Structure 1
């Protein structure tokens, strides 16, 4: 009977040797940055200087957004209950979903599908926004509960121009922002998720890696929040709203 093996093209392990995508890890250490190593494991090749600069910016952009996002609340709450750092960080990662953190994946999928269509970015964007409007669906990657203009978006788009990674996907995203404003009669700015989605699409990454980019970036922030909770706060402390309101049934007795 033939023995079955797990197959992977990512890392080869031998006694005394570790090769990531064919490169000796000892040679990579001290030679490439963490962002370049992330690019390597995801794309299979080492990035150019321009690619490395964009990936570095993308990973920095989503590293943290304060203590209020669901992932941070989950991580700090689990730690506060007496759990380990790894369990708490895992809880934070599990809180990342289609509404929080998932917009990168959703937006990248739409951009990559629509960018293949014929027509100018403006024409494709107008048709997409009308389609979403008719279906009463939101466009992921646009709008922010706090930022009228997301400073991370501004910087990422500027870097995309500087590094020559401004392509059809970013063009399309910019046109979508304009079409949304026309349709809604108010500005719905491209947020960092939309900017990351457009950037990784123009860099040739599969949309299925969208959440992955957010997770790789945000885990560092989650570790910092969990450590802060561990070292600065008392266990089982009150987190979140100062009060809760009960709106269930009034007191009643069991009838048997």
Structure 2
């Protein structure tokens, strides 16, 4: 049974023959290995062209900013998986990456798509970003919805990672329309929503990387690749100083049963 399209059977990413391996039009062994760093290669793989220095700088900064975030649920899932199956690094890594949804790490994509939504709305109404931001925030308030890319439970005075990324975007002359929209959100949200809502790292990452030229539909790749590095650190530590069963045990102790009692007699 045929499902979906079956024509256009092509890829522009990689090919090989008996003598060469070609990646995005470059000889892997002669042009890439030992010639470019991984961030450049990541950009080349995804977009098909090498990044300019400022593009590489912003990708590097975003990867460093989001790679490690402590014992968040995805990390706990990975460590507990490795504790239960110490031979299965791939399973433990997968457990951590599969847990990256709209709340943890995947929030970067949510915020980026929200910035794009505002940009498109502004374009449809004369290009007034400020008006589009205010209208969007008022809509979120009416629906009692969260503002993607804003707010932080710990850094209520401002997320230092976001501040640094925006500072770097300015320094590298990358800041453009997406950063501008994000700053307008940061300016107007506290008044409209009526509570402190600083720009967070999940808002800063898509703003700066989109202005650098990264595509909206590949946003989730950035935190996925970054968190893979952090997960590798946790899995090595787990293999040497295991806390996976401690995490599991403490979860068991922290959660009380409120179901029906066992039937006796």
TM-score calculated relative to the size of structure 2: 0.88
Any conservation in 2 of the 1:80–1:237 contact (CA below 8 Å)? Answer: no
Which is richer in helix? 2
The structural deviation recorded for 1:174 is 0.8
Partner of 1:78: 81
In the superposition, relative to structure 1, how do residues 234 and 127 fare at CA in structure 2: closer, same or farther (>3 Å)? closer
* SS of residue matched to 2:219: helix
Partner of 1:44: 48
Any conservation in 2 of the 1:61–1:152 contact (CA below 8 Å)? Answer: yes
The count of corresponding residues between Structure 1 and Structure 2 is 251
Q: Distance in 2 between matches of 1:186 and 1:109?
A: 23
| Aligned partner of 2:202 among 193, 198, 222 | 193
Unaligned runs of 5+ in 2: 1-5
**Does residue 1:140 correspond to 2:148, yes or no?**
yes
* SS of residue matched to 1:19: strand
Any conservation in 2 of the 1:21–1:41 contact (CA below 8 Å)? Answer: yes
Once structures 1 and 2 are overlaid, which stretch shifts more, 20-29 or 245-254? 245-254
Q: Distance in 1 between matches of 2:138 and 2:200?
A: 20
Q: Distance in 1 between matches of 2:162 and 2:128?
A: 23
Q: Distance in 2 between matches of 1:113 and 1:77?
A: 38
Q: Distance in 2 between matches of 1:91 and 1:234?
A: 16
1:1-256 → structure 2 map (5 Å cutoff): 6-26=9-29, 27-67=31-71, 69-83=72-86, 84-116=88-120, 117=122, 118-148=126-156, 149-233=158-242, 236-239=245-248, 240-241=250-251, 242-253=253-264
The structural deviation recorded for 1:197 is 1.2
In the superposition, relative to structure 1, how do residues 142 and 9 fare at CA in structure 2: closer, same or farther (>3 Å)? same
RMSD: 2.0
The structural deviation recorded for 1:236 is 3.5
Once structures 1 and 2 are overlaid, which stretch shifts more, 242-251 or 154-163? 242-251
In the superposition, relative to structure 1, how do residues 145 and 235 fare at CA in structure 2: closer, same or farther (>3 Å)? closer
Query: Over residues 96-146 of structure 1, what are the superposed CA-to-partner deviations in whole Å (9 max), with x where a residue is unaligned?
Result: 111111211111112113213234332221111011112222122211222
The structural deviation recorded for 1:244 is 2.3
In the superposition, relative to structure 1, how do residues 235 and 59 fare at CA in structure 2: closer, same or farther (>3 Å)? closer
Once structures 1 and 2 are overlaid, which stretch shifts more, 117-126 or 215-224? 117-126
Q: Distance in 2 between matches of 1:235 and 1:177?
A: 39
Any conservation in 1 of the 2:66–2:226 contact (CA below 8 Å)? Answer: yes
Once structures 1 and 2 are overlaid, which stretch shifts more, 155-164 or 203-212? 203-212
Q: Distance in 1 between matches of 2:150 and 2:8?
A: 44
* SS of residue matched to 2:220: helix
TM-score calculated relative to the size of structure 1: 0.91
